[in-house]
A and B are shown apart, each in its own frame.
Chain A
Amino acid sequence: MANWIPLWLHRLSSPPTFYRFAGTLQPWVTTLALLLGAIALYGGLVLAPADYQQGDAYRIIFIHVPSAWMSMFIYAVMGVASFIALVWRIKLAEVVAMESAPIGAAFTFITLVTGSLWGKPMWGTWWTWDARLTSELVLLFLFLGVIGLYRAFEDRRQGARAAAFLAIIGIINVPIVHFSVNWWNTLHQGSTVNVFGHSKMSWDMLWPLLTMTLATKFYYAASLFRRARTDLLALEGGKDWVRQIAQGEDAR
């Protein structure tokens, strides 16, 4: 199996190499995230015109939709990393999977709260049990479950494998919940949700949205690098390269 893996990828999965690699990239992705985020916010809050139907309330979209996309994206990354961790037992995959969970939970939480704040003036209610909202809430509980299970074990690697297993089981659940609640609502003739159609969005609203999407991706990378580097230090605590770093320079 090792033949088709390029050498640089194989080297990258070694903890000290990844530590240095992530450390080098971290300031760049952080800067990109902040820069793109600032541009997106300026474009969305100041430049973009008010929506003729929703007025200025629609501006929540610039943080709500990217956060929602991130919650899905991070769960997918966590799932893939979990699969790699379980099958090939690569330490770095375990770290990536486990440290993605809190970031994913954060974005899911933001999605739910900003969505609720947007829903109140627009739909007249803070919450409704339609497919999209319910499956997003289930996603939050899945993230929290992964975090909780990981921390319940004394042996961190074993905990990571157990939580990775849970993450993979959970992946299947999200589309199931989404479609089953959709079907359930139809059965009960629940209220339908009006989605802000992206294809109908004008460019001066679209570009801040896309820019913010990119910004949040860079933010995820930056946060993941930061967390993963600390986690690798903790995992490899007895090794020489950690000793050098701990006794060497301070921050970074």
Chain B
Amino acid sequence: MLPRLPRMSVETDRKAIIEFRNVGYRLPAGQSLLNNVNFSVLRGETLVLIGRSGAGKTTALKLINRLLEPSDGEVHIEGRPTIRWDPILLRRRIGYVIQDTGLFPHFTVEQNVSLVPRLEHWSEERIGSRSKELLALVGLEPGKFLQRYPHELSGGQRQRVGVARALAADPQILLMDEPFGALDPLTRGEVRREFHDLEQQLGKTIVIVTHDISEALLLGTRIGLLEAGELRGIYSPREFLRAPEPVAAAYIAQLRMLKEAEQDNS
């Protein structure tokens, strides 16, 4: 195992809000999903983890809010290892958006959105005004949507509610697992662009997991490439386009093909 570099820990003290230190994760059966992963996420930046299915992206995300605990190494949040955080407290400070939204089907939009504030015993007035504010933030008219149930919403609307719910208690960190993956391509583009605006506006620290290269390039401050449980590199979007990694090159080739198809048809 490599000794930790001093440069890294200085960075930690300054502004790293999430830090992976030699992190490994194995299933109880012994299969290794993540291997010696090191990276840090700075306050206010958006890190996109990209990789194919099974590369360990979701595992990495779940290590951050302690849905999983590392088998080796440590994940630090605000300078403290996750295993020393109270998991409930930690998770309430971290927004979480998943692909299938996980909206509660028996809760109205308002109840879904105000879940964490209610768990945190906010006053009714504060919850009410926060819910309205949140829906407006994600582009849904509060008067029209607050009392609806998830099954009365379109896929794009559900995803927006999912984002609003994750932002409810104003967490510093937002985790998103394939947040736009279940949407049709047109809606996906729309919701993604909206989220891009929101991202600029909010200044949160965001970690997004995706296998969609255009999403990574649009939303990421930096892009981490995961392959077979290992972090192959972290690049700025500009660097990623020229990254020497064969997998990165494959992603870019895929992007080029799309572009060419577009041009051929126009």
Chains A and B belong together in one complex: no
